[in-house]
Amino acid sequence: MKYVKYGKCVRCGRTYPAVPDLTTCECGGILDIVYDYDAIRRDLTKEALAARPERSMWRYRELLPIEDGTEPPPLRVGWSPLYEEGRLAEELGLGRLWVKDDGQNPTASLKDRASAMAVAKAREAGAKVIACSSTGNAASSLAGNAAAAGLETYIFVPSRAPKGKVAQLLTFGATVISVEGSYEETFELSKAAIDRWGWYNRNAAINPYLSEGKKTVALEIMEQLSWQVPDYIAISVGDCCTIAGLWKGLKDLYAIGFIDKLPRLSSAQAEGCCPLNRSIETGEPWHPMEENTLADSIAVGVPRNADKALMAIRESNGLTVSVSDAEILAAQQLLGRTCGVFGEPAGVTGTAGVKKLCRQGLIGKSDTVVSVVTGNGLKDVANAVKACGEPITIPSDMGRLLDAFAQRGIRPE
């Protein structure tokens, strides 16, 4: 890979050649992919980029750890819309606000960016099978992206996984192993199987390439903003790989001179599960927490990529904000009503955080903010039902309709 130097441990600094099946450091630390920014600076200009017809995460080829000859996997991942939301900015009391709707991806979450990268690297490794353990968006995005590329998947889920999510995996043709036990036991069986059969490992905290896929969300945001850096980028945080990827993308752009400063990150977690935010706020190392939140995709009591995420938030002089489940559901309604964007609970947690920071006066009229919605609300309709109340229920009768409107103070014009 012309622009990749090596993988480097974020803990001990040891470096490793960037082979396709790279995993973690011997010391247990997570690796970071290091680029030759001077070479990229020389070869990639904003003008060249603007002229590329490709509208997907693969338009940023020089900044991605794939070989020249590697064909991107088939599904169209990335280049999700960035909407300026003037009315919502007004309502919250912000200078300007944009929403990046990453629910607009093939399997409806930001995780498609990582899974598409996993499929690309698995092909380079000559693998025919990819495996992971997950109940959520990582699993469905892997199953979908691998199916499109003709690769087999083995996916390990704890038996408590909702039937709907399992159905999505089975529809994509994955071999799904439902493990009677905890998530930890599920992970252990998947690890043993991966070791035994040598499957390609799609686990964002083990495989260092996956963050590189996720970082494309940052590259797109900045290009869509014509390289004008906002004051803040807000995102929900669970196992920490996404915020780490976001930060990596921003630093890449700074390193090659495409942006002249870095935004501050806003790390949003659920109050019932916020080990990372606690660590930042107390200055202590992070401690495992219970997983008490309905935002299942960020209910991660033991974040597997905490090192990179803590570094990202600190380096960016970031904010932390933890929100209740009620605040998360309120943000889901707010985004739906004012933006026409339907996000899953974990997907809208970043926006719930923005709203709270506005109320607390920590951000306001002089600030510009991008809020990333990381997954589609159709993934979890049950929680939306809880949040949104009841329709007006009447027989087909105009008199009854008039009464119902009057009772509710609805005055149609």
User: Between residues 23 and 104, which has the closer beta carbon with respect to a second copy?
Assistant: 104
Gap between the Cα atoms of 135 and 161, Å rounded: 6
Tokens 């009841």 sit on residue: 390
From the list 352, 332, 286, 294, the residue with the least C-alpha distance to 313 is 286
Smallest gap, in angstroms, from Cβ of residue 243 to a second copy? 25
Q: Minimal distance in Å, beta carbon 119 to a second copy?
A: 10
Q: Which amino acid is at 385?
A: V
Closest CB to a second copy among residues 128, 314? 128
CB of 196 to a second copy, least distance (A): 7
Least CB distance from residue 280 to a second copy, whole Å? 31
The CB-of-185 to a second copy minimum distance in angstroms stands at 4
Angle between helices 241-255 and 216-224 (to 10 degrees): 50
In the bound state with a second copy, the residue whose beta carbon lies nearer, of 168 and 266, is: 168
Residue 94 vs residues 191, 234, 295, 333, 345: alpha-carbon distances, Å: 46, 13, 25, 19, 22
Whose Cβ is closer to a second copy: residue 341's or residue 358's? 341
Q: What are phi and psi of 408, to 5 degrees?
A: -95, 5
Provide the minimum distance between the beta carbon of 230 and a second copy in the complex, in angstroms, as a whole number: 19
Nearest-angstrom CA–CA distance, 138 and 168: 12
Q: Which residues contact residue 59 at a Cβ distance below 8 angstroms, ignoring those fewer than 6 apart?
A: 49, 52, 79
Q: What 8-state DSSP symbol labels residue 137?
A: H
* For a second copy, the closer CB: 26 or 180: 180
Residues 6+ positions from 193 with CB-CB distance below 8 Å: 131, 154, 156, 199
Q: Which is nearer to a second copy, 85 or 307 (CB)?
A: 85
